[in-house]
Amino acid sequence: MSVSELTIKLVGFNEAQRSNFESILNLAESKLQQQWKIVSSEGQADFFIFTEEPLQATIDSSIPLERRLLCTQDPNNAEQRIFVNTRMIPSLRSLVAVLNRQKQPQPADPASAPTKEEPHADAQAATATAPPITDTIAEAPDTSTVFYPEQGLLKALLEARSAAQPLAITANALKLWIDPVANVYYSSEALENLAPYCLANPPSLSAYPVTPADLQRTVSNADMPTGPLKDLIWYVAYKSSQGRLLQGSSPEDIVNLLQWPNFKLPECSNYVRLAAFMHSNALALGEIAASVKMPATDIYNFYNACFLIGLIEKGLTIQLHKKIPNTERESLLNKIRNRLK
């Protein structure tokens, strides 16, 4: 847990870049050893972050060099500086690494330190050698922030997808029949009614194989509706995520949406704008929130569901394409929404 708060003044950033930087800083909060806050006043700042080195000349020389942090777009300098893309959006990993190396600045008045210089240095050394509290629990799985898909109803569906024969899945009143060969499911329940079953361990969950003949007899007699299995997995994964990022994924992963999901699924139409951005661009997952102005938790829910049905591609290179003008983009999105009605 953070033990103190340090402040940053951004120098050379415009308003949009400042907003993006603040969004990434918020995402980094759980990984930082201290709390960090962006301030607008030079007098309140513990550290200054510059978009480029020449801007240091605009700051009074009385500010020590150790309080001046630089950004870079050169990967070779990223170890000591904050790595940013062409839009000045910082890499989450780089930002955490640089900020965690910074310590509380010493008092500006040298007269206040002489007699206490050595004890204070000892205290600094003791703090530096003591492992942070977060490091002592890093090995334990954190189910509050990490989404483990191999649990509950979602686990049963993922296993059914690769089963050799049809399966019946039951959980209290819920009954699902899965045909992995045809990649479809059967259920008399609407998808919206499955939300209570999207828990880590829903009550009385069981899955057992049935013969193709039994499956056909059951669904025919009940005149049971059917749908694509991938739609069922998408919705259950989406509702099960609860704002957590999928195990094995990282905010640093550069991701691209290969194909749009079925926007007729419950709640999926809320993500048309996000899907359009992710389909046209390849960007680090942790940086998408600032670009589309959506909470990271919503993006993780959408990403998890799309990843588990094979709609996400991970890459090595960021690819940002020219944005569609606002009027044209809004017209396009409105047409898509109208088709979903």
Q: Among 241, 262, 228, 253, which Cα is nearest to 313's?
A: 253
Burial code (b: 16+ CB inside 10 Å, e: under 16) for 273-310 equals ebbbbbeebbbbbbbbbbbbebebebbbbbbbbbbbbe
Which of 15-24, 32-41, 115-124, 280-289 holds the top average pLDDT? 280-289
Least confident of 118-132, 174-188, 217-231, 261-275: 118-132
Q: By the 8 A CB rule, do 252 and 285 touch?
A: yes
140-193 residue pLDDT tens: 345 578 999 988 899 999 999 999 999 999 987 889 999 999 999 999 999 998
